[in-house]
């Protein structure tokens, strides 16, 4: 089926330093009803040290994906699969796994265009007609793995605030609801704090915008180092931060945030040679509500009270 031929003349096409080659961390699921075809594909994939999973039926393929999704980046499926055909399988996989996390390459020896089009329409990223030379297979594989990697990088960039490197509100949308549902299901309490830098406009106006940026970074570092890994620290707005703690004892929340407040005011923040003192006000909500939004609104109200009482304090 697949022509490997003598590809020596094509070797130069492949960039062997490319990390999408010779990488056992990349898992590829090969689906084909023919044992012979699978064996051949496996042989080619093994040459590049990919970790290979194989299935002869759609059911098997879905089960393997389900159990190993974190390890599989790509499915290469023939049109000929035992229970359902490759097109149906592609459609089902695509319903479950998005294109930015799993690539699908369809293969068939029926050279008609309708099949190629249908594979792509059903969610495949790419298509190969048999027979193909191994070099083309490798190029298609690395190309599609690269696209997934770019997707991943873009997604990561989109949820990180580039100034402070803290997660931003987009991240909160996804992770926040998970934290909230988890807390509700297990009857846990979330401790949520809204933190706002005091008189930040004054810092900007007096020392300049770059100095303001330094302060934002310093406060972010202090906040991040004050909580556990499983707690969320979000840059919520310009000089506002949100902490959602799922490991904090509500009875000790005041003490905990007063400690953070003290550490920020004691932090040695320098603008050039001049040390400046930065203070924050913190509003805390320790009660569960019907939604995370309501919890945040409540913390924000407490923050407002902390500000109106003279700033640099924690209000619950």
Would you please indicate which residues are annotated as catalytic (active-site) residues?
Answer: 239
Q: Which H or E run contains 248? A: none
Residue 141: which of Mg ion, ligand GH3, none does it interact with, CB under 5 to 8 A by kind? Answer: none
Phi, psi of 240 (to 5 degrees): -120, 135
Q: Is 241 in the site for ligand GH3 (CB under 6 A)?
A: no
Q: Which CA distances in Å does 300 have to 39, 93, 166, 254, 284?
A: 61, 43, 19, 15, 8
282-311: which residues touch ligand GH3 (CB under 6 A)?
307, 311
Residue 204: which of Mg ion, ligand GH3, none does it interact with, CB under 5 to 8 A by kind? Answer: ligand GH3
Q: Which stretch binds Mg ion (CB under 5 A): 29-37, 126-134, 193-201, 308-316?
A: 193-201
Q: Is 121 in the site for ligand GH3 (CB under 6 A)?
A: no
Q: Which stretch binds Mg ion (CB under 5 A): 31-39, 53-61, 81-89, 231-239?
A: 231-239
Q: Is 260 in the site for ligand GH3 (CB under 6 A)?
A: no
Q: Is 201 in the site for ligand GH3 (CB under 6 A)?
A: yes
CB of 274 to Mg ion, least distance (A): 21
CA 288 to chain centre: 27
User: Which member of 32, 85, 196, 222 binds ligand GH3 (CB under 6 A)?
Assistant: 196
CB of 236 to ligand GH3, least distance (A): 11
| Nearer CB in complex with ligand GH3: 196/222 | 196
User: Which member of 7, 51, 189, 204 binds ligand GH3 (CB under 6 A)?
Assistant: 204
Q: Which stretch binds ligand GH3 (CB under 6 A): 57-65, 148-156, 191-199, 258-266?
A: 191-199
Q: Which H or E run contains 232? A: strand 232-235
| Nearer CB in complex with Mg ion: 85/196 | 196
Distance separating alpha carbons of residues 152 and 149, to the nearest angstrom: 5
> With contact defined as beta carbons under 8 Å apart, do 202 and 252 qualify?
no
CA 54 to chain centre: 27
CB of 230 to ligand GH3, least distance (A): 27
> With contact defined as beta carbons under 8 Å apart, do 34 and 54 qualify?
no
Q: Is 312 in the site for Mg ion (CB under 5 A)?
A: no
Instruction: Tally the residues of the chain.
Output: 316
Q: Is 185 in the site for ligand GH3 (CB under 6 A)?
A: no
Q: Is 239 in the site for ligand GH3 (CB under 6 A)?
A: yes
Q: Which two tokens stand for residue 286?
A: 């320790």
Q: Which two tokens stand for residue 52?
A: 């290979």
Distance separating alpha carbons of residues 89 and 79, to the nearest angstrom: 9
CB of 191 to ligand GH3, least distance (A): 22
| Nearer CB in complex with Mg ion: 171/200 | 200
How many other C-beta atoms lie within 10 A of the C-beta of residue 90? 28
Distance separating alpha carbons of residues 277 and 264, to the nearest angstrom: 8
Q: Is 300 helix (H, G, I), strand (E, B) or coil?
A: helix
Query: Can you give the binding site for Mg ion, defined by CB under 5 A?
Result: 196-197, 200, 239-240
């Amino acid at each position: 089926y697949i022509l490997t031929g003598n590809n020596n003349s094509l070797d130069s096409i492949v960039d062997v330093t490319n990390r999408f080659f010779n990488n056992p961390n990349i898992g590829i699921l090969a689906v084909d009803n023919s044992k012979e075809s699978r064996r051949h594909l496996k042989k080619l994939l093994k040459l590049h040290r990919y970790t290979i999973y194989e299935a002869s039926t759609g059911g098997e393929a879905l089960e393997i994906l389900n159990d190993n999704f974190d390890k599989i980046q790509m499915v290469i499926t023939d049109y000929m699969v035992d229970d359902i055909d490759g097109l149906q399988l592609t459609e089902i996989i695509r319903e479950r796994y998005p294109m930015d996390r799993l690539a699908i390459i369809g293969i068939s020896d029926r050279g008609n265009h309708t099949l190629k089009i249908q594979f792509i329409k059903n969610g495949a990223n790419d298509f190969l007609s048999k027979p193909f030379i191994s070099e083309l297979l490798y190029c298609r594989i690395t190309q599609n793995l690269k696209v997934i990697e770019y997707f991943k990088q873009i997604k990561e960039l989109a949820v990180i605030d580039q100034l402070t490197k803290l997660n931003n509100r987009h991240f909160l949308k996804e992770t926040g609801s998970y934290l909230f549902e988890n807390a509700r299901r297990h009857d846990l309490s979330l401790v949520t704090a809204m933190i706002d830098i005091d008189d930040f406009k004054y810092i900007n106006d007096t020392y300049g915008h770059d100095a303001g940026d330094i302060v934002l970074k310093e406060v972010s570092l202090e906040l991040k180092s004050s909580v556990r890994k499983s707690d969320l620290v979000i840059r919520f707005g310009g000089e506002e931060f949100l902490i959602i703690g799922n490991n904090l004892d509500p009875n000790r929340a005041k003490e905990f945030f007063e400690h953070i407040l003290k550490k920020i005011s004691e932090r040695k923040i320098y603008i050039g040679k001049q040390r400046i003192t930065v203070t924050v006000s913190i509003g805390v909500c320790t009660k569960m509500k019907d939604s995370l939004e309501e919890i945040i609104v409540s913390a924000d109200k407490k923050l407002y009270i902390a500000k109106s009482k003279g700033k640099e304090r924690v209000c619950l």
